[in-house]
Structure 1
Amino acid sequence: MQKPIGIFDSGVGGTSIWKEVAKMLPRENTIYLADSANAPYGEKSKEEIQRLSIKNTEFLLGRGCKIILVACNTATTNAIDYLRSHYDVPFIGIEPAIKPAALHTKTKKIGVLATKGTLSSSLFHNTSKLYAEGITILEQEGKRLVELIEAGKIQSDEMKELLIGFLQPMLDQNMDCLVLGCTHYPYLIPVLKDILPEHINIIDSGEAVARQTKAILEQNSLLSDRNVQPEHIFYTNANIAVIEDLIDRPSAKVFYLDF
């Protein structure tokens, strides 16, 4: 099946998922849509998140995508049920990695850094109840983090100050695992490692999502059987330089889209 894998996010953060997918599925073409002009989704209503997710989905389907990764925690928790019930292609969603954190924690205290839209969703709370019985989940809304990442200010003083303010209360409560509940946040791992004690496990869901994508493609006989260089196309409705800096792959093509 030569059709591409479609991926969308509220911005550039889902490129952290794209990297894992491209590594695990090296024969697959991909099309990535960054809706950066509307980032962050985490501050929007469920209805608005759903509307944007429908728009993104139909853009990718219009380009022949055979499967769609909703590479955004907020869009997954607020819109993926609707998308699955209204479109025929398989959808892969993203949710905070509560289960692996629950398996790794020794202090029974897990920190979750995520957007307001994810933390307030029923899917997040259902996942927490299912996998984190007897464990305290320390929730922290990552205000301003997505905006700074979208602006290319990952290493800025403002970013470091925000993260210290978010993380210290969780450290004071004996957190030993930090779940990154937004696909933008893996790009903060170098900064987080400078701030956090060495014993803190930082957990994101990128590799697990790539494994699930491969499994669903296999189940639906959608895997590519070609043995040539894949095509990776990126669309953004904001500054293309931010995506170019993050993906760092000469063969990828990045286009501005008035979307």
Structure 2
Amino acid sequence: MTAPDSSAPLGVFDSGVGGLTVVRALRELLPDESIIYLGDTARVPYGSKSPDTIRRFSVEDTQFLVGHGVKAVIVACNTATAHALPLLQSTFRVPVIGVLEPGVEATLSDPNCERVGIIGTAGTIRSSAYQYALAMRKPGLQIHAIPTPLLVPFVEEGWTDHPALESVLHEYLTPLLDKGVDTLVLGCTHYPLLVPLLKKMLGDQLRLVDSASTCAAHVKTLLEAQNLLRLPGEKPTLDIYLTDLAEQAEALAKRFLGSTFNKVKKATL
């Protein structure tokens, strides 16, 4: 078995285009790395699927990226991370990193963290993966998790500063604020785009932990530890593959990535 090549690209997958917030964070923190992104837009969302189906889809997504010669795979989907990460790590020879563990580590990095609120898709919250991981590491921690299914459509519509979104967030967050949470975990890769509005609404009331920036930091640490950082030289590339090229796919991808990119390609799994 050969070791991964440091010049090889990173592979990132998500059920849709939300994982491009992780790609965005990776490009900011690791500007020399090439990246291949796979969005399984033909089968989005994963949150409404059974755990067995999520695991099967995740294996197929990882196989696609490994087939393109990536040196590591980042599971930029909280639902897939919650249900499939151990299987992927035991099945594939390349390092496989999920978004959940870095978020948990970042949450607990503040010793004054006592009451944590978690928002995410129904599938992520139902899996209890964040709740379990936090409770195992810090017994006695108060954890309050709620599904927030209306947020993804707002983000994908581009309504990230719309008054209606502020009203929805107020409804979702009020029970958590009433519980006195001091930290809010944004357990969905769509949610980093909500950070400006959340900061405007909450001020310094809560510490925000988003899964994109924390995951990127974790990836950097892993690449450094395994001597897999790509050396500066040739211009890094970004290839975006989607399993369904819907009409709005490229516009949506640009919104999440915050920059331009080469033409999106069709992926067949």
- TM-score under structure 1 length normalisation: 0.89
- Listed one character per residue, the Cα deviations across residues 194-248 of structure 1 (whole Å, up to 9, x for unaligned) are 3324322111233332232223323433322241221111123341111112323
Instruction: Choose the corresponding residue for 1:222, options 221, 228, 232.
Output: 228
Name structure 2 gaps, 5 residues minimum: 1-5
The one-letter code sitting in structure 1 at the alignment partner of 2:39 is A
Amino acid at match of 2:262: K
Secondary structure (helix, strand or coil) at the match of 1:249 reads coil
Aligned-pair CA distance for 1:172: 1.5
2:128 & 2:115 partners in 1: Cα distance?
A: 21
Alignment of 1:1-259 (within 5 A): 1-95=6-100, 97-104=103-110, 108-121=114-127, 123-236=129-242, 237=244, 238=246, 239-250=249-260, 252-257=261-266, 259=268
Matched AA of 2:196: P
TM-score scaled by length of structure 2? 0.86
CA-based RMSD: 2.3
Task: Give the aligned length.
Answer: 258
SS at match of 2:32: coil
Measured after TM superposition, the shift of residue 122 of structure 1 is 5.5
**Separation in structure 1 between the aligned mates of residue 111 and residue 182 of structure 2, nearest angstrom:** 6
Instruction: Output the amino acid matched with 1:183.
Output: T
Q: In percent, how many aligned pairs have the same letter?
A: 34
Does the residue aligned with 2:165 lie in a helix, a strand or coil? helix
Q: Which runs of 5+ in 1 are unaligned?
A: none
- Mapped to 2, the partners of 1:124 and 1:103 lie a distance apart of 15
